Amino acid sequence: MRRTRPRFSSRSIAEVIDACYELFIDLDATEEQIEFPVVYAAARAGRASLHRPKDGEMPDSANLEPLFDVIRETVPAPAYDPDAPLQAQVTNLDASSYLGRIALCRIHNGTLTRGQQVAWCKRDGLVEKVKISELLRTEALERVPADISFPPLVAAGGSLRPDSALHGNGLRPAAERTFREDLGAAGSQGSFR
């Protein structure tokens, strides 16, 4: 028996919006969360509108600019201070046969440079000093060497040993691994918890 996906085109626009509101209510959303902006879009056609089209018709804009406008107006830009001490969260680990363990990081404040001494702070309170021996940034689909890195994402290789990132039979959750600038008092520069 062939399994088919339900087609949303058979549902009216009003039914889909009502289903979204019901979902938010079921999730105990706040009044502010329920008052989300609605953008009517046809992704394959590359069109969007803030005005509801008739069922089965295309949005009135010739492009997706109304969607991008709503995103720019409602989603706050990330806060970043390049002069603040380094705060970077390890979001994943990778490996290279040449570099060894590579930490994929999201930089929240500061900058990360090759050769920099940082404190690797773990949720259990352990703090380990590591040196960033290699820094890679993503360019298209390739990782290329860099001397300094700014937000948002970077790959850092250093003296990262498997025992400092393993817990039980697998990697710790990403929120448990962070880099901070080694200022002597590790952990005093904020928290990602």
Task: Decide yes or no: CATH 3.30.470.20 for domain 87-181.
Answer: no
Tell me if 174 sits within 8 A of 89, measured CB to CB.
Answer: yes
Please report where in the chains the tokens 């990262």 appear, as a residue. Answer: 160
5 or 64: which carries more pLDDT confidence?
A: 64
pLDDT number for residue 39: 94
Predicted confidence band of residue 158 (pLDDT cuts 50, 70, 90): low
- Residue 158 C-beta-side C-alpha neighbours within 13 Å: 26
CATH 2.40.30.10 residue ranges in the chain?
A: 87-181
